[in-house]
A and B are shown apart, each in its own frame.
Chain A
Amino acid sequence: MTKHKQSQGIDRSQTVILLKDLYKSFGELDVLCGVDLEVYKGENVVVLGRSGSGKSVLIKIISGLLMPDSGTVNVLGNDVSKLNSKDLQALRLKIGFSFQGSALYDSMTVRENLEFPLVRNLRNLSAAEIDKAIREVLEAVNLEQTMNQMPSELSGGQRKRIGIARTLILKPEIMLYDEPTAGLDPLTCTDINDLINEVQQRYHTSSIIITHDLTCAKSTGDRVAMLLEGKFLREGTFEEVFNTEDERVKSFFDYNFIQ
């Protein structure tokens, strides 16, 4: 049975991500139609929604990879759409982004993947400090033995873990997970869910977890927000969202249970 998330260490007086009235379209397609969201320090917010509902677009806007058509994106006190490239780079050092396909640099070994963001952003680190940081994050994701392997030699779950380790090496304050359990077997999904919770506890991160996996939502989310038709239709604990009377939300849960 899926474990319930025990919410702790959330500071509701401190907002780390604040989205207000966010709109984003691609040509004729309206993806986000007035999205509002607030994420508190130390909180894991799960964004549930169907494929193509704009979940990934949402976190790409938060990280500055995409710009909204209108609305406010405030991350750690910075209005993302008004930052110049230098300030955006500085903000990105505080945001970890775990991609759906892991996005490991396939021409580099695991070690080089981890080393790459570190040496490029903190240029005066000694070799010993770099080595220590790499070992620390590999230990955190429990994959010390893969250090000299190429990404192509890793399993899907291992790739996800290394992807997360690569973001952790910069010690981010915010983690954005894009479909962390997509394409993985149930046991590996459980491992990844546990890892997300471990990261929250160990690194004191606030996170947005994009998923359509209910098990992942239930075990990692302190709060769940349901993104349908371009806006959040329901927000609350997993049970609150699950027990809603809104037919559109219920149909999403019914479909997922049938699956």
Chain B
Amino acid sequence: MSSSPREYVIAKWIDPAFTELYSAARFVLRFFIEVFQPPFEFKEIIRQCYEIGYKSLPLITLTGFVTGIVFTNQSRPSLAEFGAASWLPSLIAIAIIRALAPLVTALITAGKVGSNIGAELGSMKVTEQIDAMEVSAINPFKFLVVSRVVATTLTLPVLMTYSAFVGLMGAYLNVHLNELTSFTSFFQSAFSQITFLDIYASLFKAVVYGFTIGIVGCYKGFNATQGTQGVGRAANTAVVISMFLIFIEEILIVQVTTWIRTS
């Protein structure tokens, strides 16, 4: 019996979408239940922080530094046109601390770490390593998922702060070479327009992005199916969904901070 187009759309898209959403919500809920239950995997969390944080430093350094230089170069002519070149350090600091550092760090980490988590757990899933943990009376969710999500959530604010620092150093280098501004006057000018709200909001964003990258990567990897193809799909969708969610979260957090700033 042939189904109507409406039934087809429901069966093909709507049902699976809600099933996936339900399954993801259960996964997130399980994380919040298990993260507070002993035993705590401190050793594994520290190892993951090293893997996720320390090993991302070269890439974060490069992207942060280049962002600072490029943004300064691109902003200078526009400001100079209005005779506002002296505002350059403030503009750069606002842009880097409020938006660029959290977003660039999150996107780079989603690409590097999110795909890595998705592929690693996906591979463990399809080769039955996760089942092997379970039958050895080890909680694989606690060992694999909780440790990774906690590590990404803790690490991303640190990476973001480092990225902002490196970005400002890149901007300073550019400004110093072009306008011969001293280190002290550059940073005095840069931080004159920065408030604690900017810093707190950025740190909060980094925490949210870190959690998103970790939980999406783990969810996709933990639920990988269909062999090596499934591993590739888990890695790929982990990155795509993380980035999509990061942009949505960015919009929401910016709306809230703008409302706090203006009220």
* Residue ranges of A at the interface with B (Cβ–Cβ < 8 Å): 60, 63-65, 89-90, 92-93, 95, 97, 99-101, 103-107, 116-117, 120-121, 123, 166-167, 170
Complex contact B131–A120 (CB within 8 A)? no
Q: Which of A65, A90, A100, A105 contacts B135, CB < 8 Å?
A: A65
Complex contact A90–B138 (CB within 8 A)? no
> Smallest CB–CB gap between A173 and chain B, Å?
14
Question: Does B86 sit within 8 A of A, measured CB to CB?
Answer: no
> Smallest CB–CB gap between B224 and chain A, Å?
15
Q: Which of A90, A99, A107, A120 contacts B132, CB < 8 Å?
A: A99
**B39 contacts which chain A residues (CB < 8 A)?**
123
Question: Does B127 sit within 8 A of A, measured CB to CB?
Answer: yes
Q: Which of A93, A104, A105 contacts B137, CB < 8 Å?
A: A93
**A92 contacts which chain B residues (CB < 8 A)?**
134-137
Q: Interface residues of B, CB < 8 Å — how many? A: 16
Complex contact B138–A97 (CB within 8 A)? no
Cross-chain pair count, CB within 8 angstroms: 56
Question: Does B7 sit within 8 A of A, measured CB to CB?
Answer: no
> Smallest CB–CB gap between A58 and chain B, Å?
14
**B143 contacts which chain A residues (CB < 8 A)?**
120
How long is the Cα–Cα vector from A97 to B136 in the complex, in angstroms? 8
How long is the Cα–Cα vector from A103 to B127 in the complex, in angstroms? 6
Known: A99-B128, A101-B127. A63 touches B136 (CB 8 A): no
Residue on B nearest A88 in the bound complex, by CB? B137
Complex contact B138–A103 (CB within 8 A)? no
> Smallest CB–CB gap between A253 and chain B, Å?
29
Residue on A nearest B130 in the bound complex, by CB? A103
Shortest 7 CB-CB distances between A and B: which pairs? A103-B132, A117-B136, A97-B135, A103-B128, A92-B137, A89-B137, A99-B128
Residue on A nearest B120 in the bound complex, by CB? A107
Question: Does B258 sit within 8 A of A, measured CB to CB?
Answer: no
Question: Does B129 sit within 8 A of A, measured CB to CB?
Answer: yes
Known: A103-B127, A105-B129. A121 touches B138 (CB 8 A): yes
Known: A97-B132, A99-B132, A103-B132. A117 touches B138 (CB 8 A): yes
How long is the Cα–Cα vector from A151 to B129 in the complex, in angstroms? 12
**B129 contacts which chain A residues (CB < 8 A)?**
103-106
Interface positions, chain B 11-38, Cβ under 8 Å from A, are none
> Smallest CB–CB gap between A250 and chain B, Å?
33
**A117 contacts which chain B residues (CB < 8 A)?**
136-138
**B132 contacts which chain A residues (CB < 8 A)?**
97, 99, 103-105, 166
Complex contact B131–A103 (CB within 8 A)? yes
**A170 contacts which chain B residues (CB < 8 A)?**
136-137
> Smallest CB–CB gap between A217 and chain B, Å?
23
Name 23 interchain pairs, CB-CB below 8 A, sorted by A. Answer: A65-B134, A89-B137, A89-B139, A92-B134, A92-B135, A92-B137, A95-B135, A97-B131, A97-B135, A99-B128, A99-B131, A99-B132, A100-B128, A101-B128, A103-B128, A105-B132, A116-B138, A117-B136, A117-B137, A117-B138, A166-B136, A170-B136, A170-B137
> Smallest CB–CB gap between A142 and chain B, Å?
22
**A116 contacts which chain B residues (CB < 8 A)?**
136, 138
**B127 contacts which chain A residues (CB < 8 A)?**
101, 103, 106
How long is the Cα–Cα vector from A41 to B66 in the complex, in angstroms? 68
> Smallest CB–CB gap between A83 and chain B, Å?
12
Interface positions, chain B 97-129, Cβ under 8 Å from A, are 120, 123-124, 127-129
How long is the Cα–Cα vector from A105 to B39 in the complex, in angstroms? 21
> Smallest CB–CB gap between B68 and chain A, Å?
36
Instruction: Beyond A89-B137, A120-B136, list 10 extra A-B contacts (CB 8 Å).
Output: A92-B134, A92-B136, A95-B135, A103-B128, A103-B131, A105-B124, A116-B136, A121-B138, A166-B132, A170-B136
Residue on A nearest B136 in the bound complex, by CB? A117
Residue on B nearest A163 in the bound complex, by CB? B132
How long is the Cα–Cα vector from A144 to B132 in the complex, in angstroms? 22
How long is the Cα–Cα vector from A182 to B124 in the complex, in angstroms? 20
> Smallest CB–CB gap between A160 and chain B, Å?
13
> Smallest CB–CB gap between A30 and chain B, Å?
21
Complex contact A65–B138 (CB within 8 A)? no
Complex contact B135–A63 (CB within 8 A)? yes
How long is the Cα–Cα vector from A250 to B128 in the complex, in angstroms? 33
> Smallest CB–CB gap between B138 and chain A, Å?
5
> Smallest CB–CB gap between A158 and chain B, Å?
16
Interface positions, chain B 120-174, Cβ under 8 Å from A, are 120, 123-124, 127-129, 131-132, 134-139, 143
Q: Mark B38-66, 1 if CB is under 8 A from A, else 0.
A: 01000000000000000000000000000
**A105 contacts which chain B residues (CB < 8 A)?**
124, 129, 132
How long is the Cα–Cα vector from A101 to B130 in the complex, in angstroms? 13
How long is the Cα–Cα vector from A63 to B135 in the complex, in angstroms? 7
> Smallest CB–CB gap between A165 and chain B, Å?
12
